[in-house]
Structure 1
């Protein structure tokens, strides 16, 4: 294709998913800088951790592209994982562009939009596998890949200035069990036509060899489950429908019925059946039905492989699940990997199950019960050999992953390599690829159902309180500013010992507060803000002396 105008540029802008694994949010722009047209590729979430108390879901900040929402031609989803579609319901109202997805992904998305009461507002255009999408200067072709979820797609994004292969998440699985294998012929054809740039998954760039096949996992699960006694629970990622299918078939071969435990398990099973997958399995048992079967006749397929506190397996381990119990002689199979950062909650979950007498089976002691959904180095080499891009742009990785991916691409003789951070606008064409602008690229936290800025005051205070504790002071003053009652002091989250019990500590803090109040002039005592500041400073200073910490101090002044 010939370029439309001398000022036209093709740019790539990651606002999530570069320098991190998860929260994918990628933009491609075409046209002159003052009048670019945009497409969005994926709109995902990441999840909170111990550094974000009370926050479970984190979104990319769309502020930059929100200002150009009228120029967004469409939102294209590569597949249905949460880190690729989980932010749609939250952020679509800020963009209001049509969404393009294959049938399985569209089914999952509709359920999410229904929960958010947005289903009737959002235009979803289903695209068949291998289909095409025309959006202004962008002509997109869907390339069938394999991954750990049905219908993963790479995108061949063709523009007048060149073609970009955006891989999304992928691996090379010669026997994926559900869905077709990687469309190598289509990728080779792109390479023959010429690929300007490949924006590629970097998750396993440090791992030699190949990720492995789902068929091999099924071959391991079959004899393992056949040899287990008692009740069996299997934890896996609900989105890995091929794994769910393998577990179900292994259960049926062992004479067990399957009960899905966890909302996302049921949702993914429904999505799979909507596109004709898992159709020939026995009907799943309801949780309240499964309890009537003998222990040897039931298998629970559970959410919670990452130790999520509200997931099904965590409630089973805590003994708080209303229908499912596991105990001595039962087994729990973790057909999943540990996502970095989840080591502690998974270990705690497994310890609770072990304490109940449940025998554990993990990929550490049974390596064949899980394979990754992302490409290892040999698979990356294959992809570069087929596509032969001029520019390598790693994504879906932490900084160390992206830089290693660039080095690997250089070893594979890719002429240019560039590892952008979130917010780096990369001009892919014309000319040599380079970062030409830096845009805002923050995060939004879903805090109690409210979207808040990444460094919002509420979370800062919560972190402060979590580390330093909380002290509250209440004092009642009369009309002349004299103390009528108090100061009364309470403390939360602060330690004491037998030599300095809590009641003595609180008395000392109250004395410090009273002394500070008595130092104020009569005029200052009439000002609530001045009184609160004096009491707060005195108590913080005393707390620093007693505990070596400066807790959150809440001061209340009442007047009679």
Structure 2
């Protein structure tokens, strides 16, 4: 087999990240051995303020799509969107079985139903802490802790080589949902000798340890006791452990808990379906909130990242049909700010403050613990596993670099910080980048997938920032204007639209009249001349570079 001009032997063990390295989200990792491939995780990312009009991004699967006949399956380490969210968007291009634990399978199943492809997909449930084989790959799930049920690290055994792919994890002796991580399994893994550890880097630049969800429970219980009006808590819908923490803290303060947001109810249903959250009082609906005294309710809502269509944004704008907050109420942001969302979060918080609502964040009180390992946790994992090679993934450059520095301090013999598209050959004591494949992010664009770097997306950005000008020009038989051109300006000339239209009409007429008779007989020449003149005018008079479209109509076609 050949990749990007480099020959790959069938028995080469290859690690190839197509997403999730040097970025947050969009995790997609490939392993090759004995001529076969597997994918570990297939997630999404979200657009930010630098990507207007872009909501969801998925990794480009073009490389592995071409190898589809040798693709054995997708293994999902857990059920977060950045690890499974791209499956419904990309499965038709990959058409391979999917393997996951029951909780994650329930989430995937709902996505496939929404996409109307469930009957086409082979979805295989694997029990936690199980071993299974896909062709030449001997795989084992090792239970860890995270902010969602059934998070797993994946042992990938290929001949004499063993890879420890951590997935998302943390150390938590009291995780509230599920059991603490299987430390004995990690010790057994280390005793076998691990070639490489491909590891979560998200919080590697944070000092100390991440902290326990159990400690957060005590903190929230104390915090809730300080208020006598409505309490709102914004968190990620997928943080099932947090739902239990809030529910228990509320119960100890004699408050009922409402879920506000469809994704929260969906996650609650999946949790109960798989035996989780059965030990807390049933959540109430948003319609029931109005029947309870203010001091008897806690409202869990989506929108902790300032998402404009989420429940909290509508509550802040006083446009939610069932929930309203007023002076004296409090909203707790029980989540971290994802880089890029700061402005959106600030907008929501300012609207709440305008309504007299008190805001509490991580800076004010202990209201959140992460699901990812901090510095000391990463040290523990390296010292436990003792791999020959450290490969930090799942994070931006600063996170990967922090992980790499920890690996160095733990005297890991070799460290390789990958970039998406690196073809990395792994063997005992040695990892090397032997080729690179083209990678891109794809925008979920209605029912299409459009490359983020495509001209279509660039044109949309240009339209957004610079506006557009459309002109229809009717020409006589000698190529002169048969009346004023019709000019339409969008996103330009605020307050002077009529004047701008008249100026452009005159400009077009003058430009055409300067052309020779021969030049006026060629539509392309007229279009280029008018476009150039309009661009020059807009740069000089408006400081803008709008998109320009010229439509020419001739009244005499010479027949």
What is the TM-score when the length of structure 1 is the normalising length?
A: 0.94
SS at match of 1:333: strand
1:513 corresponds to: 508
Q: State whether structure 2 residue 544 is matched by structure 1 residue 549.
A: yes
After superposition, residues 163-182 of structure 1 pair within 5 angstroms as 163-182=162-181
Q: Secondary structure at the match of 1:558?
A: strand
Alignment coverage as a number of residue pairs:
548
**Hey, what does 1:414 align to over in structure 2?**
412
Per the alignment, residue 283 of structure 1 pairs with 282
- Which stretch has the larger CA shift, 237-246 or 526-535? 526-535
Tell me, in whole angstroms, the C-alpha distance in 2 between the residues paired with 1:460 and 1:283.
48
Equivalent pair of 1:167/1:198 in contact (CA under 8 Å): yes
**Aligned-pair CA distance for 1:240:** 0.9
Aligned residue in 2 for 1:66: 65
| CA drift at 1:20 | 0.9
1:504-543 matches, cutoff 5 A: 504-543=499-538
In the aligned structure 1, how far is the partner of 2:42 from the partner of 2:33? 19
Question: What CA distance in whole angstroms lies between the structure 2 residues aligned with 1:316 and 1:466?
Answer: 28
CA distance in 2, matches of 1:491, 1:180: 61
- Match of residue 48 from structure 2: 49
Residue in 1 that maps onto 2:458: 460
CA distance in 2, matches of 1:496, 1:95: 48
CA shift at 1:46, angstroms? 0.5
Q: 1:365 aligns to what SS in structure 2?
A: coil
Aligned Cα root-mean-square deviation (Å): 1.8
Partner residue in 2 for 1:393: 391
- Work out the CA distance in 1 between the residues paired with 2:522 and 2:331: 63
2:49/2:340 contact within 8 Å kept: no
Alignment partner, residue 260 of structure 1: 259
Q: Secondary structure at the match of 1:486?
A: coil
Q: How far apart in 2 are the matches of 1:7 and 1:236?
A: 46
1:206 partnered with 2:201: no
Are the counterparts in 2 of residues 491 and 506 from structure 1 also a CA contact under 8 Å? yes
- SS of equivalent residue, structure 2 residue 120: coil
Structure 1 segment 161-240 matched on structure 2, within 5 A: 161-240=160-239
Deviations 1:306-325 (A, max 9, x none): 00111111111122212211
- Is residue 300 from structure 1 mapped to residue 295 from structure 2 by the alignment? no
In the alignment, the residues of structure 2 paired with residue 186 and residue 429 of structure 1 have an alpha-carbon distance, to the nearest angstrom, of: 23
Write the deviation string for residues 222-241 of structure 1: whole angstroms up to 9, x where unpaired.
12123222222110111111
What is the SS of the residue equivalent to 2:534? helix
Cα distance in 1 for residues equivalent to 2:33 and 2:156: 11
Structure 2: how far apart are the matches of 1:317 and 1:559? 55
Structure 1 residues 229 and 473 mapped into 2: Cα distance closer, same or farther (>3 Å)? farther
Provide the rounded CA distance (Å) in 2 between the counterparts of 1:422 and 1:276: 37
- Write the distance in 1 (CA, Å) between the matches of 2:394 and 2:530: 50
1:426 aligns with 2:421: no
Structure 1 unaligned blocks of 5 or more: none
Contact 1:468 1:549 in 2 (8 A): yes
CA-CA distance at 1:464 after TM superposition: 1.1
8 Å contact kept, 1:55–1:448 = no
Q: 103-112 or 528-537, which moves further after superposition?
A: 528-537
Q: Do 1:19 and 1:402's aligned partners in 2 also have CA atoms closer than 8 Å?
A: yes
- What is the SS of the residue equivalent to 2:39? strand
Which piece of structure 1 moves more, 232-241 or 292-301?
A: 292-301
Name the SS for the 2:346 alignment partner.
helix
Match of 1:20, SS state, is coil
Q: Does 1:8 align with 2:36?
A: no
Q: Distance in 1 between matches of 2:372 and 2:490?
A: 45
Cα distance in 2 between the residues matched to 1:383 and 1:108:
29
Q: Which moved more, 1:276-285 or 1:22-31?
A: 276-285
Q: Distance in 2 between matches of 1:50 and 1:293?
A: 39
Helix, strand or coil for the counterpart of 1:309? coil
Paired residues for 1:485-496 under 5 Å:
485-494=483-492
Where does residue 89 of structure 1 map in the other structure? 88
The answer for the alignment partner of 1:150 in structure 2 is 149
Aligned residue for 2:482, secondary structure, equals: strand
Say whether the 8 Å CA contact 2:440–2:453 is kept in structure 1: no
The TM-score with structure 2 as length reference comes to 0.94
In structure 2, distance between residues paired with 1:405 and 1:224: 34
CA offsets 1:256-281 (integer angstroms, 9 cap, x no match): 22221111101111111111111133
Secondary structure of the residue aligned to 1:369 is: coil
Shift of 1:430: 5.9
1:376 paired residue among 367, 374, 388 = 374
Offset at residue 495 of structure 1 (A): 5.1
SS at match of 2:328: coil
Instruction: Give the deviation of 1:170 after TM superposition.
Output: 0.6
